[in-house]
Structures are given as C-alpha cells and as structure tokens.
Amino acid sequence: MTTPRIGIVWNSSKTSREELEKGLAGAAESSGIDPVVEWFETAVDDPGYGAADAAITAGASVVVAAGGDGTVRLVAERVAEADDVDLAIAPLGTGNLLARNLEVPIGNLTAAFTRALTGTTRTIDLGWVTATINGDEQRHAFAVMAGFGIDAHMITETDDKLKDRAGWLAYVESLGRAVEASEVIGVMLTEPGKDPIEGTAHTLLIGNCGTVQGGITLLPDADPSDGELDILLLNADGIAGWLDTMRNMLWDNGLKKLLPGSADTAESSESTTHGRVTSLTIELAEPREFEVDGDVLGEVTRFGIEVQAGALRVR
C-alpha cells in the first residue's frame, strides 16, 4: 500500500496542534496506517488559501481542513482546483455544516482523522457566487449554503463570546434580532434563457446541502452530488406569514414527508418558494448583507450563482 501523504491545514484559534496530533495518532493506531504528515497553520490575514496551496504544492494526496466552516470553505475551494487531491474534515467550529451534512464525526478528532485515512471518497458539487462587494468584483465558492436575510443577520447579530461558550445555540439567541432586521424587499431572479421573475423576499438561501445547526433541514431536496443548487425564498410578513412559514417547514417539508404517499419534492406555500437551479442571477431593490458558509462578505445588490458539478472529492 502506498503511504498516504496528509497535509493538515489547521486553525490555531480553534485548537492546539498537540490535540490534533493526539487525534491523528489514535487514528493511525486504530487503522494501522502510518501517513506522512505535514502541518500548515492558517493566519489571521490568510485564513486558508495560502496554507491549502502549500499543502497541495507539498504533494499531499489528502488535505485535512481542521477548523470551522470558514476554514473548510477556503480549503475546499483550493482542493477543488487541484488534481488527484481529496478533502477531509476535522470539524472544530460552531456550525460544522459540511461535516454534519456528510456525516463526518463531530467532537471526536480520532474518528474524524480515521475518516481522513480510511474513509470512502465521495464526489460533491460546489456552488460559486460572483458579486461586487465593497466595490470589488469577487468570486467565492460555497460547499453548504449562501444567501441574504435571516441567516446573514443571525451571523452578524451573534455574540462571539456567547458562541464560544454555547456553540451553535448562540445563533438561537440572535434569532429575534435577525428576524427584526430582515425586511421584505423587491427581488428579481433570472435563469439563463428564461424571463426574469419579480417578487418580494426578506431571505434567499441557495444551498448545496440542506441541513443547518441543530439538525434543522431547510432544503429537503438538497443533495450535494446532484449537479444542482436548491433555493428557498422567504417572504413572510407579519404573524400570519410567519405561521405559514413554520407550518411549511415543520409539517409540509417535515413530519408530513414521513407519511405514505407524500410528495417526494419540497412543497412551497404562500410565504415560501422552493426551487432548483444550475445558475441564477439575483437583483435586490436594496443592499443586503450576504454570507457564504457562515462568513458574511458584505452588502450586495446584485449577484450570480452557479454550480460546479462534481467539483470536489471528500473523504
């Protein structure tokens, strides 16, 4: 068997190298695999790209992103551009969203590193967003979810100290402020070759995966390997609108799906619209904060999204 070369891109604000080495040693002992390992620490001014590039240049066949969702996203973007390199995840963040959706063990570094050494490789898609942010044309990948509205406001409203103590539950504390900040505005959606669709919304989610913190599934049709992105447009306004949204999420696309003969695809309602696209252009009547995989990039008024099918190999 060829000795695997592992490059570990690690965020020192999330854990120590000693803890990572302990988890890796346990995985090597249990699997009987003794890899060649090199370490690449992220920096405040370069939270992932440079370290991932260095790991790939050093010849790693597997690059382990050891950190939160931001670290995973940046490393995934670079690994997707490389030949014959797999991504593995040692989840150390608050949400750990890609790890949750791919059922990578959370809270157990030995189990996570065992996946890196022995796990089956799965090919998944990546989403890409192109937008002008702070005057600059930017292009970013997302492995899980992107959008504006409640999700972005929850991130900006969440107290970092509380997040360190309470984990993803800190987002629940910020939910009320996020709802209050998410006003309904005009939006226009355009798919290539189709007429634009005008409407209103306070939240738009574009997902490669469907599950968020707490095991809540917002996009029940989302499959990270199907070559499409799922969208959810929310326009609830007032108590009646929010009650309709909750019913749609908890019943129409939740418990009801367990009943015999229920629809296989996500159901829309008066306040929720589900759809699937490979590319889409979105124009907003007012600027809104935009996030990708938990990182708020800044305000946007127009952005485009597209899927890169089969972009990434993940252990």
pLDDT digits (tens, 9 = 90+) for 20-46: 999 999 999 999 999 999 999 999 999
Same domain, 151 and 86: no
Task: Tell me if 72 is assigned to some domain.
Answer: yes
* pLDDT of residue 166 exceeding 60: no
* pLDDT of residue 15 exceeding 80: yes
Same domain, 15 and 30: yes
* Count: domains in the chain: 2
Same domain, 90 and 151: no
- Report the pLDDT value the prediction gives residue 312, as an integer from 0 to 100: 97
Same domain, 190 and 286: yes
Which of 111-125, 147-161, 185-199, 219-233 bottoms out in mean pLDDT, i.e. has the lowest?
147-161
Task: Tell me if 261 is assigned to some domain.
Answer: yes
Contact 11/100 with Cβ under 8 angstroms? no
Q: Which domain holds residue 102?
A: 5-120
Which of 103, 120, 137 marks a domain boundary? 120
Q: Which residue in 205, 106, 67, 215 sits closest to 87, CA to CA?
A: 67
Same domain, 114 and 147: no
Which of 54, 87, 120 marks a domain boundary? 120
| CATH code of the domain in which 283 resides | 2.60.200.40
Same domain, 116 and 133: no
Task: Tell me if 315 is assigned to some domain.
Answer: no
Of residues 72 and 178, more confidence is placed in 72
- Is the pTM higher than 0.75? The answer reads yes
Q: Which residue in 147, 134, 207, 209 sits closest to 178, CA to CA?
A: 147
Dihedrals phi, psi of 6, to nearest 5 degrees: -110, 125
* pLDDT of residue 161 exceeding 90: no
Scan for tokens 């708020």, then name that residue: 296
In the structure, what pLDDT confidence band is assigned to residue 173 with cuts at 50, 70 and 90?
very low
Which of 101, 120, 139 marks a domain boundary? 120
